[in-house]
A = this chain, B = another copy of it.
Amino acid sequence: VASLKDIAGSLGVSVALVSKVLNRRMGTSGCSEKTRKAILAKAKQLRFRPNPLAVALRAGRKGTVGVFVHPIGNPGSGLVESLLDGIAEACNRNRERIWLSFFKTGDEFGERAPSEAQHEVDGLLLAGVSHPELAPLLRGFRKQGVPVVSVCTRPVLPSIPNVFTDEEALGYLATRHLLERGCRRIAHVGRLPSRIRGYRRALRAHGLPFSPALVRETKEFALGEGGAAVRAWLAAGMRFDGVVAQSDNQALGAMYELLRHGRKVPQEVKVVGIDNSPICDLSPVALSSVSQEMQEVGRRAAEMLLDGIAGKRMSSCVVPPQVIRRASS
């Protein structure tokens, strides 16, 4: 409730002077130490906080960042929640409000908010699966001079800075973890080539051969695909002592199938997933997983966007994943 006027009034000085002192922007002039102290003291006493609306209005800004969220991660992975947590934290620190919008389908995405939102936010944070449909939307914002940061598996446009987990590292770390746990024949199931590359790099680093028959490429990240992969490997008589899955769901499916075939987890086969989702603690054998650190991703993306709004340069960055070991390895 305390405004500049309040503190100016109670001190018998002008509002402008108070503003200058509190913002440390004295322009060409100075200020007597005495009144300076008095102003600062009064501001603290009255718990002064500038009205964000007035500040933004005056600065020709909106005091708001758009946060558009596309589906990301498997349902139940909790990825969106963590991401929002990080974003919210950074925004609150900078006193920016949020224009939050969820989109289920790609179509909705292009249709709804953009035209209205372009003029009502200082910047846009776009989270979700990287999809070409999104490009025109983003171009629209940029044309208005609104900074955009994406939080996608891959950059949507080269010109737009992207923050995400290091995809290759996900595959690499998962595989390296199993190697360190003693596995020597490691199978892999999933859809992203980058993660497969990480898997291969880890094998190479340990001087182990890569066998294509142990890699099962999938269309999605679904539970069923993990089971199907294990069935196929077993049917083909492949031997393996570890499974790296590109999602916890797939890892879970694989684990179910292994247990159904009487294979002991982790004694005979170790399993590791990706996402570090809540189901890791709900599986028959608690599932080790590589965390995408989405909270950190959200925080960094939001901070970068705020920098961009402040006129600084933005550039893509990548967040290192973390291995979380549980009973399955």
Chain A interface residues (CB < 8 Å from chain B): 1, 47, 49, 51-54, 56-57, 62-64, 74-78, 80-81, 84-85, 88-89, 91-92, 97-102, 113, 115-116, 119-120, 223, 249, 252, 256, 277-279, 281-282, 284
- Nearest opposing residue in chain B for A252, CB measure: B282
- Nearest opposing residue in chain B for A97, CB measure: B97
Shortest beta-carbon contacts, A-B, top 9: A76-B278, A75-B278, A97-B97, A88-B100, A98-B98, A76-B76, A53-B57, A85-B102, A53-B53
Instruction: Please give, as numbers and ranges, the residues of chain B lying within 8 Å of A115 by CB-CB distance.
Output: 47
- Nearest opposing residue in chain B for A75, CB measure: B278
Cross-chain contact B76 with A1 (CB below 8 angstroms): no
Q: List 24 A-B contacts (CB under 8 A).
A: A1-B119, A47-B115, A49-B116, A53-B57, A53-B63, A54-B57, A57-B57, A76-B76, A76-B277, A76-B278, A76-B279, A77-B278, A78-B78, A84-B84, A84-B100, A92-B100, A97-B97, A97-B99, A98-B98, A98-B99, A100-B100, A223-B282, A249-B282, A256-B284
Cross-chain contact B119 with A76 (CB below 8 angstroms): no
The docked-state distance in angstroms from the alpha carbon of A91 to that of B119 is: 17
The docked-state distance in angstroms from the alpha carbon of A77 to that of B281 is: 13
Instruction: Please give, as numbers and ranges, the residues of chain B lying within 8 Å of A75 by CB-CB distance.
Output: 78, 278, 281
Instruction: Please give, as numbers and ranges, the residues of chain B lying within 8 Å of A91 by CB-CB distance.
Output: 100
Q: Least Cβ distance of A122 to chain B in Å?
A: 11
